[in-house]
Chain A
Amino acid sequence: MGSMTIGAKYKTTIKDPGTAGILRMNDDRFTFTPNDPRSAMKFNVDFRTIKGHKFNKVEGNKAALLNLSKEDKAGGYIFEFDNVGNRDLCRDFVVASAALEQLSAAEVERRVKLLREDSELQKLHKKFVLGNILQESEFWATRKNLLDDEANKRSKQRPGFKNALVDIKPTTDGRTNKVTFQITPEMIHQIFAEKPAVRRAYLDFVPKKMSETRFWEKYCRAEYLVRTKNTAAATAEAAGDEELAIFLKNDDIVAKESKMKIKRVDPTLDMEADTGDDYIHLPDHGIHRYGNKETVDADSDLARRTLSQDLNRHAAVVLEGRSLDVESTDPKTSAEALVRSKKEPPSTSIVDDANHERLVKVARMTEIEDLQAPRSLPYAPLCIKDPREYFDSQQANALRSLGGSNAGRKARTCSLSTEEAFHHLMDQMSSIKVNKLNCPIIQSDMALKVLNELNEGISHSRRLNLKNPQEGLLGQLPQHTRDELMDHWTAIQELLWHFWSSYPITSAVLYNKVQRVKEAMTQIYQKLQLIKESAQPDVRHEISRLVKPMTQALDAAFNHDLEQQQKSSKTGNRHNGF
């Protein structure tokens, strides 16, 4: 598309006085060479790394700035120009350069999705963009908020762990003494997440010391022993088999983690009643687990896991969320991955650097994204009252201007002075006292007259106020005419938006755009005329009433354009690029 060379100052920040130099722009890159050959501020940047541009409004003595922002918002390149014209030239070049129009795949996908969902939008898009009247960028320029909404709708939620505790329930067949356990990779993953000691044991033992099946056999055996409350057998076996002992002991990793947490005055709620509470030790008390009531045996050092401890640990892990995907069914990789994801807290003394602690704590936090509010600021349209009510209530004013129901009473001006007026009033009051109240206060025929008048008034206003939406203006037209007119109306609005926003015309790009838009407007104008002329006589009046504001708007736009052209031809060729 060409290239451009212009003098400018490069600034690192807005306040920076800037290094003067030459800015050269090509189709795909721009270079800046400072005037002073010794300065280090020369660079050569590919347009592909520039994701956007910003420019400031120039008022008074402010300098004209153009900011080309980089992809990851890591800053940008700020250029100061001598005058606004130069800055605008650069800006238009940047805008027009094809490099900036490279959209990410996600953006394109969003646009396509939006078009698919909204058929009106699709129609407009087809008509204008594919008909070469507007460019893609111009079409989507006002619809940024739609695209943003679309982006935020994508759900970021990953499925978490199951809510139920991992309960390895064995199945027995009644005949032999065998007990069968079934463990799925999902369960394994959950076990590793909840019991870090088991995970550590797994990593240590498998496949060095024992095979995986053996490992799980031992684990299941330990679970079985705990479950059947066979403490004697458990102690015996633990003494004999150190691996088994690991499963039966308390999870020391968890214990360490909890200690660290408590040290940091972390608000953890431990719902377990403490041993001072005798309640658990009494017979017939305890929480149901494994089919019978669980009691805490304070003596033995094994099998001290209570249901509440397990629940707490389980809840904490579920809330933390799944840090990896479940696709990896290999227990080993999942165990290793879990180890990597959980950094061991450093075994520090109580005197810790507060900052460091906070950082470590933050490192273990998981952001729950789907509970956060959407990033885009929602907007609510301001609406105070139903605007249709206003027009209903103005009917009387309209009637009045046609000479309404006020005839019959003429205002008589009072030409008395203050004294005389009051005197008159006092006379009236005295006359009442003299006459007392005359009965009847009102004659019967007068009363009847009044009632009739009231009735008529009420039914009249009822008739006027009765609204049937089917009989509105649009309802009387045939369907296809109505659709056509609506289409034209939306098209006209879109075109007018682009037309008016292009003024004042300062560059060739805008000029071309205006020409294209004008051409499209002329075509619609002709179509509207055609509709008006070919309308059926009974709906002709309604159609012309509907078409009138559209043609008026188009006329206003054409007139404005004509004025502009006359002005510019009068003042000569002062505009860029004409």
Chain B
Amino acid sequence: MTSAHSKLYSDDVSLVVVVVDTNPFFWAAAALPFADFFAHLIHFVNSILLLNHLNRVVVIAAGVSSCAYILDSSDVSPSGGVGVSDTFDRASRKAEEFIAQDARATAGNGSVASANAASLLSGALSLALCYIQRIFRSGTRHPQPRILCLQGSPDRPEQYVAVMNSIFSAQRSMVPIDSCIVGTQDSAFLQQASYITGGVYLKPQELNGLFQYLAAVFATDLHSRAFLRLPKTLGVDFRASCFCHKKTIDMGYVCSVCLSIFCKNQKKCSTCGSEFSRVMPDLNSMPDQSK
């Protein structure tokens, strides 16, 4: 999906913002060890940087209580080197710091339940979109941005509203969101994100070959995607979660003013405040004939 800015810069220069799930609860039980995953990731980042010398990569870690930038390839490293090991050093150092900080934040915040904790996908997406906006405003010559989400933790319905908002703003800025699921369940949020923004959704079968998946599917820039046949998802799970209890629902009530979704009939919409004054009559009862 080419953005409107492609005319202003060389076609195949890309900015990839990688959102990495660093939920420790997920990685503790994951089939692929985090160390291997991180290695695959770093190799992938380097291969993107090899494709074009103007390419840029930004890695954002989505933790349990916070998100942070792990790597920005346009940063000049303190030692001055630009090689693979250099990237690796910087990234791993920053990642460690982040994990430690996240641990502290989570320990301090007692309200996070352990096994059900989710990564802050919405926060990370917001960070990514803000960075991309900054790139857009930096002038007419900028790379074409896209977002790649490496997600493992399951979706949390509490994040539904925030994630959908980020997805819509990505759609509006014409930023495709690619998703690669390294966990066990499909993610409805990311399916919808890729579907709406025109990105690629993939759930690899062989996690040991993760690098090959990433390089074959996600490394190409947006311009070249027009000539490639990339994996297409068969279906999208369009279920929403209700705004009141954050449960995933198939059927519910929708406010006709702001389109917020509720699982139970309510008197007043909590988002926009409009009143639903007509109470629907019970459809099975007969209307009174005698008057």
Q: Chain B contacts of A431 at CB under 8 A?
A: 35
Task: Decide: A424 and B28 in contact? CB cutoff 8 A.
Answer: yes
Across-interface contacts of B233 in A (CB, < 8 A): 396, 461
B136 at the interface (CB under 8 A from A): no
List residues of chain B with CB within 8 A of the CB of A395: 234-235
**Shortest beta-carbon distance from B29 to chain A in Å:** 4
Interface residue? A362 (CB, 8 A): no
Q: A413-B115, A418-B107 given as contacts; is B232 within 8 A of A446 (CB)?
A: no
> Complex Cα distance A185/B205, Å?
90
CB of B103 within 8 A of chain A? Answer: yes
A 155-190 contacts with B by CB, 8 A: none
Q: Is the CB of A450 within 8 A of B28?
A: no
Q: Are A449 and B209 in contact (CB under 8 A)?
A: yes
The answer to whether B115 touches A437, judged by C-beta atoms less than 8 angstroms apart, is no
Would A441 and B38 count as touching, CB distance under 8 A? no
B28 touches A429 (CB 8 A): no
Interface residues of A in 407-440 (CB under 8 A from B): 408-422, 424-426, 428-433, 435-438
- Rounded to whole Å, the gap between the CB of B289 and the closest CB of chain A is 6
- Which residues of chain B from 172 to 201 have any CB-CB distance to chain A below 8 Å in the complex? 183-186, 195
A233: chain B residues at CB < 8 Å are none
Q: Is A504 an interface residue (CB 8 A)?
A: yes
Query: Which residue of B25, B40, B183, B235 is within 8 Å of A396 (Cβ)?
Result: B235
Q: For A85, list chain B residues within 8 Å (CB).
A: 291
Q: Point out the residues of chain B lying under 8 angstroms from A433, CB to CB.
A: 92
Complex formed: what's the CA distance from A83 to B291 in Å? 8
Q: Is the CB of A426 within 8 A of B99?
A: yes
Given A412-B29, A436-B85, A454-B213 in contact, is the A417-B34 Cβ separation under 8 Å?
no
- The residue that A393 contacts in the complex, of B27, B92, B235, with Cβ under 8 A, is B235
List residues of chain A with CB within 8 A of the CB of B49.
none
List B residues 116-154 near A (Cβ within 8 Å).
117
- A68-116 interface (Cβ within 8 A of B): 83-85
| Residues of B within 8 A of A (CB-CB), count | 63
Instruction: Given the known inter-chain contacts A394-B235, A414-B26, A418-B107, please indicate yes or no for A408 contacting B40, CB distance below 8 A.
Output: no
Given contacts A397-B237, A431-B35, A437-B43, contact A442 B185 (CB under 8 A): no
What residues of chain A lie closer than 8 Å to B75, measured between beta carbons? none
Q: Which of B22, B95, B234, B289: most chain A CB closer than 10 A?
A: B234
Q: Which of A410, A437, A446 has the most CB of B within 10 A?
A: A437
The listed residue (B30, B42, B206, B289) touching A450 by CB distance below 8 A is B206
With known contacts A393-B236, A417-B114, A437-B85, A410–B184 Cβ distance under 8 A = yes
Chain A nearest CB, measured from B275 CB (Å): 20
Selected from B27, B33, B234, the residue in CB contact (under 8 A) with A464 is B234
A408 to B213, CA, bound (A): 18
Determine whether the beta carbon of B184 is less than 8 Å from that of A411: yes
Known: A397-B237, A454-B231, A458-B229. A429 touches B35 (CB 8 A): yes
Expressed in whole angstroms, the minimum distance between the Cβ of A143 and any Cβ of chain B is 27
Query: When the two chains form the complex, which single residue of A416, A422, A430, A461 contacts B106, counting CB atoms closer than 8 Å?
Result: A422
15-52 of chain B: CB within 8 A of chain A: 22, 24-31, 33-35, 38-40, 42-43
Contact yes or no, A414 B29, CB < 8 A: yes
Decide if A432 touches B35 in the complex (CB within 8 Å).
Answer: yes
Residues of B within 8 A of A396 (CB): 233-237
Q: Which residues of B contact A377 (CB under 8 A)?
A: none
A575 CA / B84 CA spacing, docked (Å): 89
Residue A403, interface by CB 8 Å? no
Task: Answer whether residue A574 sits at the interface, using C-beta atoms and an 8 A cutoff.
Answer: yes
- Inter-chain contact B40/A441, CB cutoff 8 Å: yes
Residue of A nearest to B96 (CB): A429
Interface of A is mostly: helix
Chain A residue with minimal CB distance to B228? A458
Q: Which of A406, A465, A574 has the most C-beta atoms of chain B within 10 angstroms of its own C-beta?
A: A406
Could you tell me the distance between the alpha carbons of A453 and B205 in the complex, rounded to whole angstroms?
8
Least CB distance from A434 to B in Å reads 10
A360 within 8 A of B: no
For A209-244 the 0/1 string (1 means CB < 8 A from B) is: 000000000000000000000000000000000000
B114, A422: Cβ atoms under 8 Å? no
CA distance A399 to B27 in the complex (A): 29
- Counting CB contacts under 8 A, is A382 at the interface? no
B98 to chain A, nearest CB (A): 10
- B114 — which chain A residues lie within 8 A by C-beta? 414, 416-418, 421
Quick one: closest B residue to A432, CB to CB? B35
- Measured in the bound complex, the distance between the Cα atoms of B216 and A465 in whole Å is 22
User: For the complex, what is the distance from the CA of A421 to the CA of B115, rounded to whole Å?
Assistant: 10
Of A394, A436, A450, A464, the residue contacting B212 (CB under 8 A) is A450
| A567 is an interface residue with CB less than 8 A from chain B | yes
How many angstroms from the CA of A414 to the CA of B31 in the assembled complex?
12
Which chain A residues lie closer than 8 Å to B99 at the CB level?
Answer: 422, 425-426, 429
Closest Cβ–Cβ distance, residue A433 to chain B (whole Å): 6
Q: How far is the CA of A429 from the CA of B42 in the complex (A)?
A: 13
Cross-chain contact of A415 among B30, B34, B96, B115 (Cβ < 8 A): B115
Give bound CA distance, A430 to B217, whole Å: 30
* B contact residues around A410 at 8 Å (CB): 184
Q: Are B289 and A575 in contact (CB under 8 A)?
A: yes
Residues A438 and B39 in contact, CB atoms below 8 Å apart: yes
| Cross-chain contact B34 with A425 (CB below 8 angstroms) | yes
Cα-based distance from A414 to B113 in the complex (angstroms): 12
Min Cβ gap B203→A in Å is 8
Least CB separation from B209: chain A residue? A450
With an 8 A cutoff between CB atoms, is A40 at the interface?
no
CA distance A567 to B217 in the complex (A): 65
Indicate if A387 sits at the interface (CB-CB under 8 A). no
> B256 in the interface, Cβ–Cβ < 8 Å?
no
B88 within 8 A of A: yes
CB of A452 to closest CB in B, whole Å: 10
Which residue of chain A has the shortest Cβ distance to B38 in the bound complex? A432
Of the candidates A416, A438, A442, which one forms a contact with B208 in the assembled complex, judged by CB atoms under 8 Å apart? A442
Given contacts A425-B27, A430-B96, A461-B234, list 15 more A-B pairs with CB under 8 A: A83-B291, A395-B234, A395-B235, A398-B235, A409-B31, A410-B184, A420-B28, A428-B34, A437-B84, A442-B209, A447-B209, A450-B212, A453-B205, A462-B229, A462-B232
- Can you report 17 residue pairs joining A to B where beta carbons are below 8 Å apart? A393-B236, A393-B238, A395-B235, A396-B233, A397-B237, A414-B25, A419-B107, A421-B25, A424-B28, A429-B34, A429-B99, A430-B96, A441-B39, A451-B212, A453-B205, A461-B231, A461-B234
Closest 5 CB pairs of A and B: A396-B235, A421-B24, A422-B103, A450-B209, A396-B234
